[in-house]
Structure formats: structure tokens, C-alpha cells
């Protein structure tokens, strides 16, 4: 057999083998089959490289035959030349939908704080914050807590040493803002607070509060009621109703605790509101002259209101969450619902 016949036989065998392997290869393997026969270092090119040893007329015949096979195989394997440096497999169905990737989202408490801030921001409040590690002075003394007040007890407060503690509420931000700003001040201060409390479904050692306060000339209790009702209708819905109960805080006079009508029963009484029809959401009042004295505001000229609202509390009411610990356990089955 001459060189020509030998190469011709090789070409025929190659074509047969290529077709068979292609039809038998699983989709993921087909790219390898293609490279093995048509790639730059593939079998077909190896044969074509031997053409230089042939007589010129044989070379043309074999060349034509080789090119024919190349065309046949290219058509069979599909038009799947590598694009850029990505190897696209010819068996790939580009119309398949992509693989969904799990998407993260903001924690329900962050969402709640953002929503509350948005509402008050829209009513002219500016956002401020203060340190979570506070001094005894800002957390208690400047807010008119007497030296023997039970809240100062180690039982309720995480003390770090004689002077520093984890703030038990966001009210100290009032004093910090008053010290550096003259009225009018209209501030919303969101943040974490800490209490040395037994952990159960209703209380946790850390929680989130939003403190709001407004000081100017002629600020009245009526202004406080108006702003809180506007907030409740925006956050809970337009049929939200509020109830103001007399209460006591050292830094406000008069003081009030505010309830929202039970969202579940509309005030008729149900297990969620313990048959009261109402649920407490915040403490508030008119800022005590003793607080103004600590920051050199003249109580004869200025008056102001303040309120402090628990974020876990309002989120639990709005979304029907019955255990505060859920916010802190990072159970994705819980978090994904919001
Ligand atoms: N700081 C209080 C607490 O944590 C809540 C509070 C009550 C804040 C009355 C206020 C207020 O600003 O006026 O229990």
C-alpha cells in the first residue's frame, strides 16, 4: 500500500471513529471528542501534517478528502468554537433558566428601625446616636434618677466598672444632644440598649429602642399626642388607636405609657392582648425641668416632649411574633419570612 492509500484509509477510519464516539459520548464528554478530532492538536491535523510527504497531485486529493471530513465533523459536532477563553460545550442548552442563588436581606429589626426612621424623618426629625457604653452620669444622674433608684441596681444594669455601664435605654442621647445643641432640637435616636434581665419570651438582655424628642418654645403635650398618633397610623395602619395612661419616669413630668389598640381583636379582648384590648408600645412625657437644668436650657423659655419606643415590641405586634428570642437566634426559617 502506497503512502496515499495509507493516509486515505486512516482518514476513513478517523471519520468512522469520530462519528461513533460522538454518538456514544455523554453530553459532558462531547467537547473532549471534538477536541480529540478537530482540535489544533487533534487527529485530523496530525494526518494533514503528513501531507507534505505526498506527491503534489495526491496531496490535493487527500487534502480535499481531509477538508470534506473536517466539514462533516464540524457540522456534526455543532458550531461550538470556543468563545473568548470560555469553553462552551456543544451539548449545552442555553435556553435553560439560570440556577437561583439564595438572596440575603435585611434583618427584620433593621427593617423595622428603617421604617420607623423613615416615618419620623418625614415629620422633620433628624437622626442622632450615642454610645452603647455609657457613663452613670448620662444614663442616670443627668436624667434625674435619684441616687437610690432601683434601676441603678446591679440587678438591672450591666455595670462595667464604677463609672461605665451598658446603657439601659436610649434616653441618655437626649442629654448628649442638648449639651451640644440649642433649641429647636427635633431628634430621633435609634439604637441598642441592655438590661440585666431574666431571658424569656417577653424580655431579652439586649433590645432596640428609638428615642424621640422635640424641644422648642411652646411645645405641648398635645403636640406629643399628635405626633405619636400620626406615627401609629402610618406604622400600624389608619385604624390604629392610642391610649395614654398616666405613669412615672424620672426624666419626664407628666409621664405617660402609651398603648395601641390590639391589632388582632380591634380592642374587644383576645389572648394576645390578655383580654385587655390594648398593648403597651412606648413611654413618653414632657421633659422634666431637672433635665433642662443639667444642660443649661431655661425651663421658663423652652418646653419639650420625649418618647422611647421598643422596636422588638412594635415588630412583634405588627407581625404577630410571640417570642422576642426569635430576633436573636438567627434561625433562617424565621428570618426568611420578612
Ligand atoms: N427610657 C424609658 C425606658 O427605657 C422609655 C422612655 C420613657 C423614654 C419616657 C422617654 C420617655 O423618652 O419620655 O423605659
| β partners of residue 261 | 278
Angstrom distance (rounded) from CA 326 to CA 321: 8
Angstrom distance (rounded) from CA 272 to CA 317: 9
Distance 308 CA to ligand 1 centre (A): 4
- Grid cell locating 334: 424565621
pLDDT at res. 274: 84
Same domain membership, residue 153 and residue 220: yes
Same domain membership, residue 311 and residue 237: yes
pLDDT at res. 82: 47
Distance 205 CA to ligand 1 centre (A): 17
Q: Which of 120, 178, 284, 303 to mutate to test the pocket of ligand 1 (most atoms within 8 A of CB)?
A: 284
Tell me the CATH number at 147.
3.30.930.10
- Domain span at residue 20? 3-86
| Chosen domain end from 86, 116, 150 | 86
Q: Is residue 100 part of a domain?
A: no
Q: Is residue 79 part of a domain?
A: yes
Structural domain tally of the chain? Answer: 2
pLDDT at res. 336: 93
Distance 257 CA to ligand 1 centre (A): 9
pLDDT at res. 1: 61
pLDDT at res. 21: 85
Q: Is residue 101 part of a domain?
A: no
In this prediction, the residues of the chain whose per-residue pLDDT falls under 50 are 80-85
Q: Which of 175, 283, 286, 306 to mutate to test the pocket of ligand 1 (most atoms within 8 A of CB)?
A: 283
pLDDT at res. 86: 59
Angstrom distance (rounded) from CA 265 to CA 271: 9
pLDDT at res. 175: 98
> Of 175, 149, 139, 170, which is closest to residue 282 (Cα–Cα)?
170
Q: Is residue 32 part of a domain?
A: yes
pTM for the whole structure = 0.72
Ligand 1 nearest-atom number relative to CA 283: 7
Ligand 1 nearest-atom number relative to CA 309: 5
Same domain membership, residue 220 and residue 81: no
Ligand 1 lining (C-beta closer than 6 Å) = 169, 171, 211, 249, 252, 283-285, 306-308
Going 135 to 139 to 144 to 147, the CA torsion angle's sign is negative
pLDDT at res. 84: 47
pLDDT in tens, 269-312: 887 788 999 999 999 999 999 999 999 999 999 999 999 999 99
Q: Is residue 125 part of a domain?
A: yes
Nearest CA to ligand 1 atom 12: 307
Amino acid at each position: 500500500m502506497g503512502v496515499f492509500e495509507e493516509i486515505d484509509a486512516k482518514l476513513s477510519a478517523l471519520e468512522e471513529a469520530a462519528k461513533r464516539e460522538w454518538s456514544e459520548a455523554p453530553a459532558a464528554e462531547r467537547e473532549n471528542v471534538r477536541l480529540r478530532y478537530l482540535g489544533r492538536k487533534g487527529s485530523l491535523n496530525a494526518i494533514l501534517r503528513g501531507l507534505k510527504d505526498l506527491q503534489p497531485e495526491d496531496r490535493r486529493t487527500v487534502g480535499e478528502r481531509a477538508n470534506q471530513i473536517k466539514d462533516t465533523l464540524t457540522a456534526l459536532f455543532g458550531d461550538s468554537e470556543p468563545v473568548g477563553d470560555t469553553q462552551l460545550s456543544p451539548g449545552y442548552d442555553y435556553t435553560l433558566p439560570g440556577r437561583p442563588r439564595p438572596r440575603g436581606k435585611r434583618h427584620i429589626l433593621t427593617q423595622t428601625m428603617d421604617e420607623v426612621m423613615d416615618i419620623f424623618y418625614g415629620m422633620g426629625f433628624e437622626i442622632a446616636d450615642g454610645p452603647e457604653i455609657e457613663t452613670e452620669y448620662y444614663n442616670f444622674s443627668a436624667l434625674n434618677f435619684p441616687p437610690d433608684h432601683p434601676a441603678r441596681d446591679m440587678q438591672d444594669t450591666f455595670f462595667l466598672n464604677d463609672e461605665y455601664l451598658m446603657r439601659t435605654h436610649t434616653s441618655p442621647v437626649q442629654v448628649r444632644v442638648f449639651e451640644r445643641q440649642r433649641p429647636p432640637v427635633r431628634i430621633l435616636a435609634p439604637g441598642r440598649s441592655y438590661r440585666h434581665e431574666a431571658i424569656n419570651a417577653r424580655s431579652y438582655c439586649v433590645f432596640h429602642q428609638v428615642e424621640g424628642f422635640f424641644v422648642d418654645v411652646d411645645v405641648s403635650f398635645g403636640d406629643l399626642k399628635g405626633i405619636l398618633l400620626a406615627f401609629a397610623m402610618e406604622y400600624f395602619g389608619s385604624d390604629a388607636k392610642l391610649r395614654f395612661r398616666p405613669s412615672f419616669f424620672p426624666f419626664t413630668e407628666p409621664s405617660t405609657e402609651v398603648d395601641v389598640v390590639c391589632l388582632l381583636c380591634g380592642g374587644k379582648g383576645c389572648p394576645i392582648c390578655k383580654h385587655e384590648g390594648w398593648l403597651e408600645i412606648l413611654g413618653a412625657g414632657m421633659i422634666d425641668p431637672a433635665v433642662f437644668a443639667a444642660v443649661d436650657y431655661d425651663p421658663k423659655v423652652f418646653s419639650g416632649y420625649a418618647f422611647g419606643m421598643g422596636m422588638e415590641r412594635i415588630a412583634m405586634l405588627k407581625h404577630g411574633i410571640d417570642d422576642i428570642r426569635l430576633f436573636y437566634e438567627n434561625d433562617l426559617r424565621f428570618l426568611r419570612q420578612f
